Amino acid sequence: MMKKLLLLTVVGLYTLTSHGQKKTVDQRVDSVLRLMTLEEKVGQMNQYNGPWAATGPLTNDDKLLDQIREGKVGSMLNATGVARTRELQQLALQSRLKIPLLFGQDVIHGYRTIFPIPLAEAASWDMDAIRQSARIAATEVSAAGVHWTFAPMVDIARDPRWGRVMEGAGEDPYLGSMIATARVKGFQGNGYGKTDAVMACAKHFAAYGAAVGGRDYNSVDMSLRQLHEVYLPPFKSAADAGVATFMNSFNDLNGIPATGNSYLQRDLLKGQWKFKGFVVSDWGSVGEMINHGFSKDNYEAAMQAANAGSDMDMESRSYIQHLVKLVKEGKVKMTVIDDAVRRILKKKFEMGLFDDPFRYCNEEREKAQWNNPAHLSAAREMAKKSIVLLKNNGVLPLAKNSGAPRTIALIGPFARAKSDNLGFWSYDWPDDSARIISVFEGVQRKTGPDTRLLYAKGCNVNDTSTAGFAEAIAAASQADIIILTVGEARDMTGEAKSRSSIRLPGVQEELAKAIIATGKPVVVLISAGRPLVFNHIADNAPAVVYTWWLGTQAGDAIADVLFGDYNPSGKLPMTFPLTEGQIPIYYNYYSTGRPATSDSDRFYRSAYTDLSLYPKYPFGFGKSYTTFEYSDIQLSKKTFSAKEKTDVTVTVKNTGNYDGEEVVQLYIRDITGSVVRPVKELKGFRKIWLAKGESKEVVFTLSVDDLRFYNDKLQYIYEPGDFVVYVGGNSREVKEAGFTLLK
């Protein structure tokens, strides 16, 4: 009874002004802040991992639950499920001020229903579908008591050796920015605070994707111009879309660890960008500044991180151990603490947690979201759209009903795989084997009694044994059609999964050679979390389909594409290199004084003597079962002033035998600038559907805002002069036209 009374008193203080009017959120935050001791404030800045699951090295602490009761914990990660979060929230409500906990979780591409990995979704270039995928993830995880996802990852990645490419949207700042917005809006559902939405977190701030050599956690040294032009735009878009939180990153940037970097967190994010949410550190990244050689000890690390604008310490325990002392000793100002705590409390208020700390704890809702058929079908749609057809010599699509007996052999380590389809950063549920659809099952569901299916694994994903080859070749020789599945296992791309070789692991390439050598129609499916190098397959197999890791519905989605129920429309969000020696390779590079225009240029080349200039597959590439023809570009104005705009029009015609979708891409080039400009920059795209034989006019409007860039003083300006505009179905095969921006 006493406890209840105290709760009411404190909550009463939170909600009404002395005149009995309803307080604004800021007033409510202040009224709580006024009651807090320094220790309680520091507690809000402390985040612990749930004792049940770890995504990094766990520091030793068995007093976790006591600390929650004492108001020393503001947030927990990896505590999910209504029962568990309720239990922990109850402990928080035993603390003096009863400030509720925030529960955060890595929900990167789904929770109960696993969607394609983010890089695969990016290949759809379908913003509505991507937004919907995040919306569904939020619906599912918010029903499990969670308030906050550590997503989207919006790091631009130009190096496929880096394991975390799977988590982002690829190499392009424009596409990456559009996707950042779509994901934030999806997770936050147009305004978090509703019980089916979660707070999003733009990570990893900043430039984590530029780690030297693609080695995870590595240093980053780059010009501020490059930072602003390439790496920051998706973060800015996330901020503009109202993302609730940011996470800083493990890397140092130009010598200062991101966690202790006040240029990034104070000057830019909270200063110029006016970001009102809070910044959480990455796991242990406050304490890791000691290893960077930037902080002497945890005391100094806590001081540097807090002063630089890191509001919450994820698991390094530096804040909880040292911040009180640091304030008392005058090393961290009380205003720094108050600002951080205000930001954190504000989110708790906006999430409605002060009004009802258990509003996300509803067993019925949790149960209802557990098996939601609409989510499964959305996951299948998303998976179909994420698939990229790289090659097709007419083998695809396969007929569903052959009309005569036929044999299809499914070969390779992924033909019957289940959990590998989920990819990294996904959850394993006890009923996964029934829920996840394998390729074999997908094919089985499409084909009738005329079709006999054979299966042979051939080899494991990553060992040296060729013992299964004979069986695979025997199955292949009996088959009319072969579906060969190769790729990376689920844990080969992801955090701390950088690879120096991005070839197919183990003996898979040899298996592929043997199967292709049978001369039969072979369709190769490649499942992976990153661009791989697979030249023998690319050059010799009749058909190659890049399936990434597609999630719970992988097998059905793949079968939809193989059997023509869906005409593939995915386009690569990253350049695929010819070999690792070309890395880093990306389409929007700067020209040089000796630019190469073809592989036969002997001197005018900024490439290697032993390699082609060109990647294996360019950014934006992806085929369809049909073909598209682009008309020449029409410009409404070939010269225009800064106050005017020009329309860029092309007509796209479906010239093949199937209805289909095309991603029409627009790039520009600023021919001369006060700083050098990329040879191409994506500035727009449209995904259009065209019936067989149909033509559509696609109109893009260009204004000076599309022509802006950062000059050497970091001003975001446009400069009059000559430009080229390109439109096409990938970054290489384009139509072009010139225009002039007048003074």
Residue positions annotated with a catalytic role: 282
Residue 148 φ/ψ, nearest 5 degrees: -155, 130
Shortest Å distance, C-beta 103 to ligand NOJ: 13
Q: Considering beta carbons, is residue 56 or 242 the nearer one to ligand NOJ? A: 56
Query: CB-wise, 314 or 483, nearer to ligand NOJ?
Result: 314
Minimum CB separation from ligand NOJ for residue 303, in Å?
23
Whole-angstrom Cα Rg for the chain: 27
Listed in sequence order, the residues at least 6 apart from 277 whose beta carbon sits closer than 8 Å to its beta carbon are: 199, 243, 244, 245, 246, 343, 347
Count, in order, helices (H) and strands (E) of the chain.
22, 27
CB of 206 to ligand NOJ, least distance (A): 13
Q: Judged by CB, which is closer to ligand NOJ: 172, or 282?
A: 282
Q: Is the peptide bond before 595 cis (omega within 30 degrees of 0)?
A: no
Q: Where are the beta strands (DSSP E) in 271-387?
A: 278-280, 313-314
Closest approach of ligand NOJ to the CB of residue 495, in Å: 6
Least Å distance between CB 319 and ligand NOJ? 16
* Rounded CA separation 177/636 (Å): 27
Residue identified by tokens 């949410």 is: 277
Indicate the residue among 216 and 381 with the shorter CB distance to ligand NOJ.
216
Round to whole Å and give the CA distance between 432 and 143. 20
Among candidate residues 646, 648, 647, the one with its CA nearest the CA of residue 633:
648
Nearer to ligand NOJ, 280 or 320 (CB): 280
Indicate the SS3 state at residue 576: strand
CA angle, residues 504, 509, 511, in degrees to nearest 5: 135
| Tokens representing residue 413 in the block | 């380590």
Between CA 467 and CA 415 the distance in angstroms is 17
Residue closer to ligand NOJ, measured from CB, 146 or 327: 146
Q: Of 156 and 409, which CB lies nearer to ligand NOJ in the complex structure? A: 156
Report whether the peptide linkage leading into residue 51 is cis, meaning its omega lies within 30 degrees of zero.
no
| CB contact burial 650-659 (16+ within 10 A = b; e otherwise) | bebbbebeeb
> Are the beta carbons of 73 and 102 closer than 8 angstroms?
no
Least Å distance, CB 77 to ligand NOJ, is 6
- Closest CB 120 distance from ligand NOJ, rounded Å: 18
CA distance 483 to 318: 53
Residues contacting 9, CB < 8 A, separation 6+: none
Provide the minimum distance between the beta carbon of 247 and ligand NOJ in the complex, in angstroms, as a whole number. Answer: 6
Q: Specify the DSSP element, H or E, that contains 77.
A: strand 75-77
Pull the structure tokens for residue 65.
Answer: 């639950």
Minimum CB separation from ligand NOJ for residue 376, in Å? 26
Strands 388-392, 543-546: parallel, antiparallel or unpaired by DSSP? antiparallel
DSSP string, 142-199: HTTT--EE---B------TTSGGGGGS--S-HHHHHHHHHHHHHHHHTTSBTBTT--B
Residue with tokens 């966690």: 259
Minimum gap (Å) between residue 150 Cβ and ligand NOJ: 3
Strands 660-670 and 634-635: unpaired
DSSP H or E segment with residue 555: helix 554-562
Q: Residue 48 in contact with residue 64, Cβ under 8 Å?
A: yes
Burial class (CB in 10 A: 0-12, 13-18, 19+), 103: buried
Please identify, using beta-carbon distances, which residue of 47 and 624 lies nearer to ligand NOJ: 47
Q: Single out the residue of 383, 307, 283, 263 nearest to residue 75, CA to CA.
A: 283
Query: 664 in helix, strand or coil?
Result: strand
Ramachandran angles phi, psi of 132, nearest 5°: -65, -35
Residues that bind ligand NOJ (CB under 6 A): 55-56, 77, 106, 150, 203, 282-283, 495
Nearer to ligand NOJ, 115 or 469 (CB): 115
Nearest approach, Cβ of residue 326 and ligand NOJ (Å): 25
Helix (H, G, I), strand (E, B) or coil at 96: coil
CA dihedral 246, 251, 254, 256 (to 10 degrees): 80
CA–CA dist 734, 207 (Å, integer): 30
Q: Of 274, 368, 351, 259, give the one whose Cα is nearest residue 306.
A: 259
Smallest gap from Cβ 617 to ligand NOJ, in A, equals 28
Q: Min. distance of Cβ 355 from ligand NOJ in angstroms?
A: 28
CA distance 522 to 501: 25
Residue 274: count of CB within 10 angstroms of its CB: 8
Left if phi > 0, otherwise alpha if psi is -120 to 50, otherwise beta: which for 551?
Answer: left
